[in-house]
């Protein structure tokens, strides 16, 4: 502990030297002369609130909520922030679970915005802390990526900032908001459209990982448009008078066929997938309604647009073939990500100062047991910080995140923090195992510290705010022009159609079935020290293929045979 604090002083001391303006700007002087001391106070606040971190991690894991249905998570988190005097703006762009919290001190300038995603994934319910695949609710939702862990980091860092800013009369606004429906990219572009970032100077966004690091420039991921194609035809008896029907399913199948041929002509980094949400009811009725949901991913905004336009053409042709109609609804969008260099460099200094979590022997033993369980080398948890990422030259495609829309609207950086086990694949039950355990608490505390310290740099160093803005206004558009091969500097233009509305009822049917069972699983911090205690799971669970005392999965009534 002592060694770590000592290291913190040394490194942040170096940071202060390189940012000479910090000690020479009168405003900064008046507010506080000692940024290292303030950062140490923020760090101490986070350490003193380890219990709150554990409760937020466990509670938000236990809610098991998915996109546009983050109701309980929202009530819980805004409750904490409201009790601390944060003002809450709700119902952003008509999305009931979309909220922004803010708290101001002094002049209220500058504004630093803290973000972390909050939704889980359908069908990926998983009991935490055990060593086997076992859902909490059969067919239920789960935090099988670990978005819940960063919610603790985001909220506790905001409270740490409030405490330090109040005590030392530091001016600024702390804004806090969740990435809702991130898994269907259905949140952040709407936040942008709602003008949430109009007076924001910097966004510090975080995401769960097994490593600790940040990066700037072009990311390795993709931009994306997610769209649902609804084909409508005419029913008929499939045997008596099929010639009177117009098959929506046949149109959707020809659309899919067309897209599978079309892949040959897409650029190599394209990732295009679909699910047939609704293909009809019974084979003896010609289906009059079919819904086909597509994701179009590419590494430049223009190529995302082109692939989407191609798909629209193919869908129209497929409808024409069978005399049906097709309507296209945009469900979600994301611009390709681009991190702000001055913010990333500052955050990296704070990452070096905070360091990796002090993993316990039990944390490491459980991590190795999980790795062995899933057929990976038992290397345990990461103990080294990642090098500052400097951007991708030729990205080969990969996942998308709607933080891209925010990164093209306001200077933004993303912190990856270590609250999961190396080698576990995301969007998989394996990725939920550690997300309500001490591994998650340790990672979330590091997240909170780095966020708070980076925000303090922004509140106290006007030059950093200016540098971030300069990079955003003058450097990022030109670098992106070269990277994307456009003829003009790149300017953000949302993929959302002007008349689009968020598809907030997309998971209604599933949630109506699951919610009563989900409520039974909510964590009760008043009764149990941890969620593992509530579930009766022994920690660390080290016996292979073992539930270590966890109860059996709840089963929705309509699934009982
Ligand atoms: Zn995510």
Q: Tens digit of pLDDT for each residue in 508-521?
A: 999 999 999 999 99
Distance from Cα 438 to the centre of ligand 1, integer Å:
20
Distance from Cα 206 to the centre of ligand 1, integer Å:
9
Distance from Cα 209 to the centre of ligand 1, integer Å:
9
Distance from Cα 425 to the centre of ligand 1, integer Å:
12
**CB count in 10 Å sphere of residue 214:** 25
End-to-end CA distance of the chain: 55
Distance from Cα 499 to the centre of ligand 1, integer Å:
27
Contact indicator for 507, 516 with CB cutoff of 8 Å: no
pLDDT given at position 515: 96
Q: Helix axis angle, 341-354 relative to 462-470, nearest 10°? A: 130
Identify the DSSP state of 66: -
Name the residue ranges covered by the structural domains of the chain: 42-219+353-393+403-460, 223-334
Domain 42-219+353-393+403-460 -> CATH class: alpha beta
pLDDT given at position 557: 81
pLDDT tens-digit profile, the chain (561 residues): 333 333 333 333 333 333 333 444 444 444 445 999 999 999 999 999 999 999 999 999 999 999 999 999 999 999 999 999 999 999 999 999 999 999 999 999 999 999 999 999 999 999 999 999 999 999 999 999 999 999 999 999 999 999 999 999 999 999 999 999 999 999 999 999 999 999 999 999 999 999 999 999 999 889 999 999 999 999 999 999 999 999 999 999 999 999 999 999 999 999 999 999 999 999 999 999 999 999 999 999 999 999 999 999 999 999 999 999 999 999 999 999 999 999 999 999 999 999 999 999 999 999 999 999 999 999 999 999 999 999 999 999 899 999 999 999 999 999 999 999 999 999 999 999 999 999 999 999 999 999 999 999 999 999 999 999 999 999 999 999 999 999 999 999 999 999 999 999 999 999 999 999 999 999 999 999 999 999 999 999 999 899 999 999 999 886 644
Tokens 């289906």, residue located: 287
| Strand 213-214 to 271-278 pairing | unpaired
Distance from Cα 420 to the centre of ligand 1, integer Å:
12
Distance from Cα 182 to the centre of ligand 1, integer Å:
7
Contact indicator for 275, 123 with CB cutoff of 8 Å: no
Contact indicator for 553, 134 with CB cutoff of 8 Å: yes
pLDDT given at position 305: 97
Distance from Cα 181 to the centre of ligand 1, integer Å:
10
Cβ-based burial of 546 (10 A; exposed 0-12, middle 13-18, buried ≥19): middle
β-pair partners for 275 = 293
pLDDT given at position 363: 98
Distance from Cα 295 to the centre of ligand 1, integer Å:
16
SS3 (DSSP) at 250: helix
**CB count in 10 Å sphere of residue 296:** 29
Distance from Cα 187 to the centre of ligand 1, integer Å:
12
The pTM score is 0.91
Distance from Cα 183 to the centre of ligand 1, integer Å:
7
CATH number at 223-334: 3.30.70.360
pLDDT given at position 559: 62
Compute the distance between CA of residue 381 and CA of residue 291 in angstroms, rounded to an integer: 43
Compute the distance between CA of residue 331 and CA of residue 191 in angstroms, rounded to an integer: 14
Identify the DSSP state of 394: S
Equal CATH topology for 42-219+353-393+403-460 and 223-334:
no
Element housing 37 (H / E): helix 35-48
Distance from Cα 284 to the centre of ligand 1, integer Å:
42
Distance from Cα 485 to the centre of ligand 1, integer Å:
28
Both structure tokens of 61: 């894991």
Distance from Cα 389 to the centre of ligand 1, integer Å:
19
Distance from Cα 320 to the centre of ligand 1, integer Å:
38
């Amino acid at each position: 502990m002592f060694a770590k604090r000592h290291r913190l002083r040394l490194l942040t001391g170096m940071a202060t030297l390189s940012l000479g303006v910090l000690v020479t700007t009168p405003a900064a002087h008046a507010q506080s002369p000692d940024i290292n001391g303030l950062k140490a106070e923020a760090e101490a606040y986070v350490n003193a609130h380890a219990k709150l971190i554990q409760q937020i991690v466990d509670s938000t894991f236990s809610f098991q909520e998915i996109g546009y249905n983050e109701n309980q998570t929202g009530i819980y988190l805004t409750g904490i922030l409201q009790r601390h005097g944060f003002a809450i703006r709700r119902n952003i762009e008509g999305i009931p679970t979309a909220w922004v919290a803010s708290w101001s001190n002094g002049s209220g300038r500058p504004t630093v915005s803290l973000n972390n995603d909050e939704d889980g994934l359908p069908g990926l319910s998983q009991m935490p802390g055990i060593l086997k695949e076992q859902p909490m609710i059969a067919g239920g939702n789960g935090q099988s990526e670990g978005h819940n862990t960063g919610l603790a980091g985001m909220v506790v860092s905001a409270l740490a900032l409030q405490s330090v800013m109040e005590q030392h009369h530091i001016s600024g606004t702390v804004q806090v908001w969740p990435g809702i429906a991130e898994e269907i990219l259905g949140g952040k572009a709407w936040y942008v459209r709602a003008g949430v970032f109009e007076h924001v100077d910097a966004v510090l966004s975080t995401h769960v990982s097994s490593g600790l690091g940040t990066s700037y420039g072009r990311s390795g991921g993709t931009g994306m448009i997610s769209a649902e194609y609804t084909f409508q035809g005419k029913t008929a008896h499939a045997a008596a008078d099929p010639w009177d029907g117009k098959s929506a399913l046949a149109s959707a199948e020809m659309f899919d066929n067309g897209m599978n041929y079309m892949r040959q002509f897409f650029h190599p980094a394209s990732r295009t997938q679909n699910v047939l949400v609704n293909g009809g009811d019974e084979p003896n009725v010609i289906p009059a309604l079919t819904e086909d949901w597509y994701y179009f991913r590419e590494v430049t905004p223009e190529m995302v647009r082109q692939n989407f336009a191609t798909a629209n053409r193919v869908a129209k042709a497929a409808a024409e073939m069978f005399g049906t109609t097709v309507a296209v609804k945009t469900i979600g969008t994301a611009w390709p990500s681009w991190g702000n260099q001055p913010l990333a460099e500052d955050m990296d200094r704070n990452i070096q100062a905070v360091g990796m979590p002090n993993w316990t022997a039990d944390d490491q033993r459980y991590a190795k047991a999980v790795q062995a369980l899933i057929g990976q080398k038992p290397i345990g948890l990461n103990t080294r910080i990642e090098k500052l990422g400097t951007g991708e030259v030729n990205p080969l495609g990969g996942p998308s995140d709607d933080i891209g829309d925010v990164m093209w609207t306001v200077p933004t950086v993303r912190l990856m923090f270590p609250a999961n086990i190396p080698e576990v694949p995301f969007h998989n039950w394996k990725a939920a195992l550690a997300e309500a355990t001490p591994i998650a608490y340790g990672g979330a505390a590091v997240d909170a510290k780095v966020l708070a310290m980076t925000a303090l740099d922004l509140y106290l160093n006007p030059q950093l705010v200016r540098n971030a803005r300069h990079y955003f206004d003058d450097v990022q558009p030109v670098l992106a022009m070269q990277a994307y091969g456009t003829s003009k500097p790149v300017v953000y233009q949302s993929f959302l159609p002007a008349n689009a509305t968020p598809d907030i009822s997309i998971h209604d049917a599933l949630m109506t079935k699951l919610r009563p069972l989900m409520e039974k699983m909510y964590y009760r911090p008043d009764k149990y020290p941890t969620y593992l205690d509530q579930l009766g799971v022994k920690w660390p669970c080290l016996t292979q293929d073992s539930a270590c005392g966890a109860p059996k999965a709840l089963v929705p009534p309509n699934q009982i045979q």
